Amino acid sequence: MRDLSLVSLLLVVHAGSLAGPGIELREVHIQDVDPVTRLVRLAPSEDSVIAPGSTLLVAAGNEPLAWAEWAEAESGVPAFRLTTPAAASTEGPWQAWLIPPDLVARLIARWPDNAPLRAEVDSVGPGGQSAWINAGTNQGVNVGDSWWLRVAGQPAARCDVRFAADDVCFCAVVALANAPTVRPGARVALWPGPAERRTGRATSAVAFVEERAQDVLVWIAAPPNVNCPSEPHVDLYRAGRYLGHGLVERRDDRFWYVRLIRPGGSGGSSRATSSAPVESKALPVRVGDNAVIRTHADINGRRFLAHIFELSPAGALLNAGEADGLAVGDVMTVSRRTQAAGRAVVRQVQRSYAVVEPVSEPAAERVTESADVPLGGPETPPLILSVGDALRFGDPPEAPRLVGTIRSTVRNGLFAAQLTRMATPVGVPLAVRLGDRTIGAAVLVTADAGRGVGFALPCSLTEPLLPGMRLEYEPDSSEAELTDTS
């Protein structure tokens, strides 16, 4: 069976599940399974048309078994060959679902945040100036899209799609590093990723750090197909840790050049113990650090994070201003470790920056059980803004909901899950998480009595699927906000 990153996967519409886009599942009946040839023969059906490239998902006894690929049609009876020899000896009852070839493209409408869509370089043209990548329209890839290759975090190349067929695309290669790095077998990721593309967000990474006499110029790989202000804000992170921000001074086809402003200026200290998103000492930016770019979609939706980068006598300086839609009197939520810590109001504003100060909250009052006499209890501690604090309009986004954990796995991404709730989102892409990291996307095909069967999308996985990994549903992921995970 070919790599499942090239095979569209299963999506089921399940009555009573959480809302989400889906397609009808075509369940097929198995006539017999030959343990010698490993052929799965389907029972005759009035509708025997099978789309080219379709695969078969096979289960038995409510446990996932194997994928099967098209083999032959004998006397009008379609047959598929199991990819796992041991599966042929398993006793039934058998279940099977016919999987059309373009399911990955249909899943993109609800792709989880921070889950990539990856593919492999098939071949490279003369001089490394072009490449064939083994993903195409069946995976939601079209002319005008781009892939990127990162080596140890560093942006090494961008591959712009010039032609796309069902399961392959041809790309022009734009080098972002000196040494040729696009080679057959290299893994590339769609850029922007599916969730970013859907929501209009943009990320990049540091390609070079230029120490200048008066400041630092950070080169980031030029993000493709991004609608931004003329001088967009860029926030820099390393492993979820906020490093600082800057403004884009100029651009070319390969790089954007960002003048760095590290947090903690002349106006005060970083007070890292209370703010947490930033270290007590400003961390140096280095090649491979992640860059989050503030787009027009972020600004229009008022969903971006802004950060306090300096404390001054006039107040805390925020890296957002009139160009980001801020106005005097705007009230924003202060977040620390993704939790709301209070509110701040905009007191002054200019094009790229603003001055904010805490909103005075009413003191808490306690009442005795025997009399309506307020007691002088402890007052709510006043909010003290700190360098690195994250501010947003509205409350932090709703946390993902735990659906279950992976109980056991079968090769090529199949798994059985222990579920935590009955209202399980069958047919909706779920985030697969390990610790605080998203390592891929998965879909449940059945859910009953606390047990489920599903599969991970290999084209999304950044590491192998393992028992104990969590399955989480992301509410309103089609309108996802940027989450500060520091």
**387 Cβ contact partners less than 8 Å away, ≥ 6 residues apart:** 263, 264, 265, 268, 269, 270, 271, 275, 278, 308, 309, 310, 311
User: Which pLDDT score, from 0 to 100, does residue 270 have?
Assistant: 34
At residue 57, does pLDDT exceed 50? yes
- Portion of the chain with pLDDT greater than 90, in percent: 53
Task: Give the best-scoring range by mean pLDDT among 163-172, 273-282, 360-369, 417-426.
Answer: 163-172
Q: Return the pLDDT at 25.
A: 64
Sequence letter at residue 469: M
- The CATH class that applies to domain 401-479 reads mainly beta
pLDDT of 366: 35
3-state SS track over 359-399: CCCCCCCEECCCCCCEECCCCCCCCCCCCCCEEECCCCCCC
Strand pairing category for 154-164 and 306-312:
unpaired
63 is written with which tokens?
């446990």
The answer to whether the CB of 209 falls within 8 A of the CB of 286 is yes
Instruction: Count CA within 13 A, CB hemisphere, residue 430.
Output: 31
Higher pLDDT, 181 or 480: 181
What is the Cα–Cα distance from 243 to 255, expressed in whole angstroms?
A: 20
The predicted structure's pLDDT at residue 23? 52
Domain boundaries, the chain: 24-99, 118-192, 222-361+386-392, 401-479
Confidence of residue 426 (pLDDT cuts 50, 70, 90): confident
Beta-carbon contacts of 316 under 8 Å, excluding residues fewer than 6 positions away, are: 308, 310, 344, 355, 356, 357, 385, 389
- Strand 118-124 vs strand 187-190: parallel, antiparallel, or unpaired? antiparallel
Please state the φ and ψ torsions of residue 363, each to the nearest 5 degrees.
Answer: -70, 145
> For 140-251, where are the alpha helices, taking DSSP H only?
194-199
Residue 161 CB neighbour total at 10 angstroms: 21
Is pTM beyond 0.85? Reply is no
- Chain centroid to CA 22: how far? 20
Give the mean pLDDT of 252-257.
96
Looking at residue 44, the DSSP 8-state letter turns out to be P
Does the pLDDT of residue 411 top 90, yes or no?
A: no
Q: Which residue has the higher pLDDT, 129 or 480?
A: 129
Closest CA to 188 of 133, 255, 115, 124: 133
Contact 264, 270 (CB under 8 A): yes
Fold of 118-192: Thrombin, subunit H (2.40.10)
Let me know if 209 is exposed, middle or buried by CB neighbors in 10 A (0-12, 13-18, 19+).
middle
Same fold, 118-192 and 401-479: yes
Average of pLDDT values for 406-420? Answer: 91
Non-local CB neighbours of 426 within 8 Å, separated by 6+ positions: 12, 13, 14, 17, 444, 445, 446, 447, 452
With 60 as the cut, is the pLDDT of residue 486 above it? no
What are the pLDDT digits (tens) for 291-341?
999 999 999 999 999 999 999 999 999 999 999 999 999 999 998 876 788
Pairing of strands 390-392, 306-312: antiparallel
Residue 364, pLDDT > 60, answer: no
Q: Which burial class, exposed, middle or buried, applies to 172 when counting CB atoms under 10 A from its CB (0-12, 13-18, 19+)? A: middle
Quick one: pLDDT band at residue 278, thresholds 50, 70, 90? very low
Adjacency order of strands within the sheet including 63-74:
26-28, 94-99, 55-60, 63-74, 77-82, 39-42, 30-33
Q: Which residues pair with 388 in a beta bridge?
A: none
Structure-block tokens of residue 344: 């701040």
More confident residue, 130 or 239: 130
Output the average pLDDT for the chain: 83
- The answer to whether the beta carbons of residues 290 and 237 sit under 8 Å apart is yes
Do 415 and 458 contact (CB within 8 A), yes or no?
A: no
Q: How does 210-246 read in b/e, with b if 16+ C-beta sit within 10 Å?
A: eeeeeebbbbbbbbbebebbebbbbbbbbeebbbbbb
* pLDDT value at residue 482: 35
Cβ neighbors of 278 (< 8 A, separation 6 or more) are 241, 242, 243, 263, 264, 270, 272, 387, 388, 486
Q: How far apart are CA 335 and CA 342, in angstroms?
A: 7
**CA–CA separation, 176 vs 161, rounded Å?**
16
Three-class secondary structure of residue 241 per DSSP: strand
Question: Is the pLDDT reported for residue 68 higher than 70?
Answer: yes
Collect all residues with Cβ–Cβ distance below 8 Å to 376 and sequence separation of at least 6: none
pLDDT at residue 361 in the model: 66
- The three-state secondary structure class of 297 is helix
